Amino acid sequence: MSKNIKERAERNAKIRRTVAQIEKTVNKLERMKDEYLQKATDAKARGDSASYALAKSGLNVTLSQIKRANEMLLNIEITTELQKMGEVNSDFLTGMSVIAKRIGKINKQSDFVKLQKEIEKALSGMEEAQAGLDVFLQNTDAQFAAISQSEGSLSDKQIDELVDGKVSERELLMDAQIDGLLGGKVKADIGENSRAEARVSVGGNDDNGKAEASAKSVAKPFPEPLGRFVFDKKSSPEISYSDVLGGGEECGASVMLADVIEKREELGVFLGRTGDGEVVHVPFSEAPAILVGGVIGSGKSVFIHQLICSTVLTHSAETVRLVLIDLKNEELSRYNGIPHLAANAVTDASGVMPTLKALQAEIDRRYELTAEFGGNIKDYNAQRADKLPYIVVVIDELKDVIEAVGGAFEREFGRVSRQAAAVGVYFVAATRVVDKSTLTPLISAAFPARAAFRTDTKDASKLLGAVGADEITGAGELLFVNGGKSVKCVAPYVTEKEINKVVAAFAEDRI
């Protein structure tokens, strides 16, 4: 068994390295694609047919390489899941075989002998299947190397239509087929969103920070008031809890934020207080991506607010940066201007993909900085004076984002989230709708930890991974599930008045 465990660990490590290498290559190809698209657009505008043809050729090859790399990532993901299932079944059958042998020694009945033979036969078949999956994974390196040699597979007409904005990159590469496999929802109007996504990073900035690309080369300007992401540490005032919290007892909540908040060395989430009065704080190192689910009025939005307020009150902008996404533009834009924000809240769908790309670029930068420390932010910060701040990405309504952006968001988010935790990038997303169109395989895999408020059905609670959430009756009550462990508590309540005081206290003009 020890040999098998060692082989599995080595295989899993190789898979992680291969996936990271492919994802890094995809990011590089995406940048090349944008450059070729810009060159083709410029060449066509000035009537330079030779430069246009050259740029089209490069764009064709790059798009084909991106498609092959993404298909490979999908194959690896599916194969890895199959392998994990096989390993579980193999362990079970091995255990059953041992038990059958022992029973057979005690009781010589033919039924037990027959059972043992059947188990051994099944185990042999499982080992053969595992060997086949191993061969697939071993061939991945050769397949990956072949990507760089792949030829362009798109016609001149298709490339012309892409440059002219008549067809989206997503439509061109038929990503809808992959979306179908992953359970994603294909939107009829995705073309316009994809054109904005493909073109949004084409233009540069002049000295005044204004986009200098023409309307012909950029379908949409970079969404305002998003601005430029700044992930470096920043100074911020230290605010006393008593100055901004308290005085909201009349709201009737049994647990207020002022009751649970306290300085914690490790960045994390104050889940609330258990029935025994214990304050529950979960470090992000143990739950790097948390999905918050529940019906309207169950406490999700208040949970997000108390998370943001407690984070900025217990950690300075030197140690944590926030990225907020709220397409309803009802909740999170009120925090615009506080020093902890890496940029203003993203409130437009066209800003979602640029946000993920900015996060991916920062993650890549952090891996380079922390390479000698094993790509680990904790070890890096422990030994370096120029410490990296942690980044917390908060999405107020995940369903809105998925519906507005489509499968492109799921794939990009899946890539970003897989690499994020090691270098200090964490995610918290809330959703009022808990169904298979929201919790697709990619999204579910990206959020191993769940904070479940009341759900409307048993199926929703099961899908959320928190059985019994449909039976929650208390206001603000939640069931937190992570790694097979669960805890029930009452989330802390923060009033509108307290939120406004926190924002006012951190206003930029006070720094």
Mean pLDDT in residue range 360-370: 92
In-domain check, residue 74: yes
Could you tell me the two tokens for 331?
């909740």
- Please state whether 337 falls in left (phi above 0), alpha (psi between -120 and 50) or beta: left
* 482 contacts 292 by C-beta, under 8 angstroms: no
In-domain check, residue 102: yes
The pLDDT tens digits for 243-297 are 899 876 667 788 999 999 998 889 999 999 998 989 999 999 999 999 999 888 8
The rounded distance, in Å, linking the Cα atoms of 235 and 242 is: 21
Could you tell me the two tokens for 154?
């798109």
DSSP string, 122-182: HHHHHHHHHHHHHHHHHTHHHHHHHHTTPPP-S-HHHHHHHHHTSS-HHHHTTHHHHHHHH
- Give yes or no: residues 357 and 461 share one domain: yes
Domain ends where: 103, 132, 167? 167
The rounded distance, in Å, linking the Cα atoms of 222 and 364 is: 22
- Give yes or no: residues 20 and 136 share one domain: yes
- Give yes or no: residues 143 and 288 share one domain: no
Residue given tokens 């006070």 in the structure block: 510
pLDDT of residue 415 exceeding 50: yes
Closest CA to 428 of 496, 482, 490, 389: 482
Could you tell me the two tokens for 172?
């061109």
Give the pLDDT of residue 214.
29
The pLDDT tens digits for 64-74 are 777 777 777 77
- Give yes or no: residues 265 and 152 share one domain: no
Quote the domain boundaries for residue 37. 2-167
Closest CA to 360 of 396, 329, 323: 323
The rounded distance, in Å, linking the Cα atoms of 91 and 499 is: 51
In-domain check, residue 204: no
- Give yes or no: residues 162 and 257 share one domain: no
* 479 contacts 307 by C-beta, under 8 angstroms: no
The pLDDT tens digits for 431-450 are 988 888 888 888 888 899 99
Closest CA to 346 of 307, 354, 421: 354
- Give yes or no: residues 350 and 483 share one domain: yes
CATH code of residue 479: 3.40.50.300
pLDDT of residue 21 exceeding 50: yes
- Give yes or no: residues 308 and 455 share one domain: yes
* 234 contacts 317 by C-beta, under 8 angstroms: yes
In-domain check, residue 378: yes
How does residue 388 score in pLDDT terms, banded at 50, 70 and 90?
very high
Tell me the C-alpha to C-alpha distance, in Å, between residue 261 and each of 78, 172, 255, 312, 465: 42, 51, 11, 11, 27
Domain ends where: 138, 167, 196? 167
Specify the number of domains making up the chain.
Answer: 2
Domain ends where: 167, 183, 213? 167
pTM: 0.59
The rounded distance, in Å, linking the Cα atoms of 437 and 179 is: 11
The pLDDT tens digits for 329-360 are 878 999 998 999 999 999 988 889 999 999 99
In-domain check, residue 231: no
- Give yes or no: residues 161 and 270 share one domain: no
pLDDT of residue 204 exceeding 50: no
Give the pLDDT of residue 132.
54
In-domain check, residue 232: no
- Give yes or no: residues 251 and 161 share one domain: no
In-domain check, residue 206: no
Sign of CA dihedral 455, 458, 463, 464: positive
Instruction: Choose the weakest-confidence range: 89-98, 177-186, 240-249, 502-511.
Output: 177-186
Give the pLDDT of residue 155.
65
The pLDDT tens digits for 452-489 are 998 888 888 888 888 888 888 877 899 999 988 889 99
Of 179 and 165, the one with more pLDDT: 165
* 367 contacts 419 by C-beta, under 8 angstroms: yes
In-domain check, residue 502: yes
Count other C-beta atoms under 10 Å from residue 210's C-beta. 10
The rounded distance, in Å, linking the Cα atoms of 91 and 99 is: 12
